[in-house]
Amino acid sequence: MNCIRTLQWWVGIAALLIVAALANAQTYTKLYAYPEDTRNDTGIGLAGIMTQGRDGNLYGTIGDDNTNAAGSAFKMTTAGKFTRIYAFCAITKCTDGSGPWGGLTLGKDGNFYGATQSGGTSAAGTVFKLTPAGILTTVWNFDNLADGAAPWYPPVQGLDGNFYGASNTIYAGDYGALFKLVPTTTLPYTESVPVDFNFTNGSEPNGPVQGTDGNFYGSTVGGGTSSLGVVFKSTPAGKITVLHDFTGYPNDGTTPIGAMVQGNDGNFYGVTYQGGSKNLGSVFKVTAGGTYSLIHSFAGYPSDGAHPRSGLIVGSDGNLYGTTLQGGAKNDGEVYKITPAGVTTILYSFCSVTSCTDGFSPVQPLIQHTNGKFYGNTSGNSLGGSYFYSLSAGLAPFVRLVNWSGKVGTTVEILGQGFTDTTAVSFNGVAATFTNSSDTYMTAVVPAGATTGTLKVTTFTNSMSSNRPFRVTPQITAFSPASGVVGASVKVTGVSLKQTSAVTIGGKTATFTVNSDTQITATVPAGALTGQKISVTTAGGTASSASNFVVVPSIASFTPASGKVGTSVAITGHSFTGATAVKFGGVAATSLQVINDTQVDAVVPTGAVTGTITVTTPGGTGTSAAKFTVSP
């Protein structure tokens, strides 16, 4: 009996320890209370994206504070020290912009980029660059006629170094557009409009995100067949595809809001403000190919959230994190975690303390700092309630990659902490050279032999992994021979070929063998077309050859084996598409027909003599092994 009691006591203690550990793993801390007077210092317009700078601080915007009610940009330490670094509408007629509601993104140059909904030279909004010290440069002024107006979200810097974003109106309609800005040494930047939404393919776009395939993915608040919004994919050049057309309550979402995010599984995740089985909003998943899944319908107070007002982020553990405007234990919003499979957990319910001094109704996206904690802001109103907070979910410190894809030799920018004591940096286990710029910012060079995978920073006391894989893009430097028939071997040389998963020759998938990180041997596949580039796909992306591979036709057989002038002969083989000539014993047939890539029919011409048959295509000439006998 005493043993049983002892066991029960230990089980009870263990349960208490588990509860305590869970509680400690989800610790909410209010760090800063924004003043209520929005015309004096800061205030309620906290709706945009915060980003981590090279110095380890967080940077963001407020849409409607300061004496001009035009908004500001701020710096916030993780301890909650607030500094306003720029007040908009500081220039005559607000030509520096007004209403920076969308927040900031970090550029590869260490500066921050954002957009204003109004102000600028045409009062139609701007795109700006802001240094950490608060020096603002307007890089583009929208004019509301030729290129749109009123951008909400900050632009994102693409893998090509250009900036991509969304505006709410455009000259050809009032449905919004995607714009592209190419940085130039002289201002303004060069701007173009790759996508002009036409309502059928969406209306009022949310900010786009670039996927690992190089395309941009996003959602629109409205438009589509049911006027309830769409999910779209766009190439950098502007070829747009609707991946999903929302139909609404009760089986689908309504009014998608916030920027989408690509999960570690390669799929894209987003939220809708309404719709779902309870019409309280939803979380959805869309594959790059357009397969849609509703993975969670919000159920509302008190067991779940309701009406999310911002998008999701991917945590360092691979799960998704977000906030809702309502729902939770007090119906004043929550912070939640959702797995890619849709299992949802409330991490914190707002207004859980006396007089709601912990804040309520968050509308801003979370950010996970590289220290492992989540940070965010609650919304405010005439009663106050606008707070900057942290939420510890028990996740370890990690490193964030500013640029997450590149070739061998690329310099990678890394954000984190404790870099002063760095002893090693590796790309999926391959050691790299690195440079410490500060305790919170460093660079490393992608080494030869590196493969796509986790970047790891090792210090004297710790080891930190990247929150997403670094994708080492392959390169093709040459191939040999330059031409060949179906079934021939082609040696492809290059860089970062070890993880090859597919090879394409002539537009068809080829079988291959990986010989080393610098060489692949592939076989020209049936159906391969001449005059196309060879491509190699790895976990890090796809590389194409600089020159085209020539597919030479080949003759396997023909029937009949003999015949007189006027006989129709069926010639079988490979790569006959585009055949321009057939010869019998060197004499050209005047009548031929390409049946398909493996058969061409021709009529024995007048003057033909016994000899080989040849078929000529743009890829060359194929000759039969046997001779065709011309009978009298």
Q: For residue 232, what are the contacts with CB-CB under 8 A and spacing of at least 6?
A: 201, 202, 205, 217, 218, 219, 220, 240, 241, 242, 243
Distance CA 589, CA 504 (A): 34
Identify the architecture of domain 554-630 in CATH. Sandwich (2.60)
Name the DSSP class of 247: -
Determine the average pLDDT of the residues in 73-84.
Answer: 96
Q: How far apart are the first and last CA of the chain?
A: 112
380 pLDDT band (50/70/90 cuts)? Answer: low
Distance CA 542, CA 547 (A): 15
pLDDT of residue 12: 37
Summarised one tens digit per residue, pLDDT across range 498-517 is 999 999 999 999 999 999 99
Distance CA 340, CA 163 (A): 29
238 pLDDT band (50/70/90 cuts)? Answer: very high
Place of tokens 């006998």: 629
Name the DSSP class of 466: B
Q: Do domains 474-551 and 554-630 have the same CATH topology?
A: yes
Classified as helix, coil or strand, 141 is strand
pLDDT of residue 174: 80
> Residue 432 phi/psi, 5° resolution?
-130, 155
Q: In what order do the strands lie in the sheet with 489-495?
A: 475-480, 489-495, 519-523, 512-516
Rounded to two decimals, what is the model's pTM?
0.89
Asked whether the beta carbons of 567 and 608 are under 8 A apart, the reply is no
Sorted by where each begins, the domain ranges of the chain are: 400-471, 474-551, 554-630
Distance CA 289, CA 291 (A): 6
Determine the average pLDDT of the residues in 269-284.
Answer: 97
Distance CA 474, CA 153 (A): 32
Q: For residue 11, what are the contacts with CB-CB under 8 A and spacing of at least 6?
A: none
Summarised one tens digit per residue, pLDDT across range 27-60 is 999 999 887 644 444 445 667 899 999 999 999 9
The pair of structure tokens assigned to 439 is 């305790």
Q: Which CATH number fits domain 474-551: 2.30.330.10, 2.60.40.10, 2.170.270.10, 3.40.50.2300?
A: 2.60.40.10
How many residues are listed for the chain in this entry? 632
pLDDT of residue 43: 46
Summarised one tens digit per residue, pLDDT across range 94-108 is 999 999 999 999 999
pLDDT of residue 385: 63
What percent of the chain has a predicted confidence (pLDDT) above 90? Answer: 85
Q: Which CATH class is domain 400-471?
A: mainly beta
- For residue 476, pLDDT beyond 50: yes
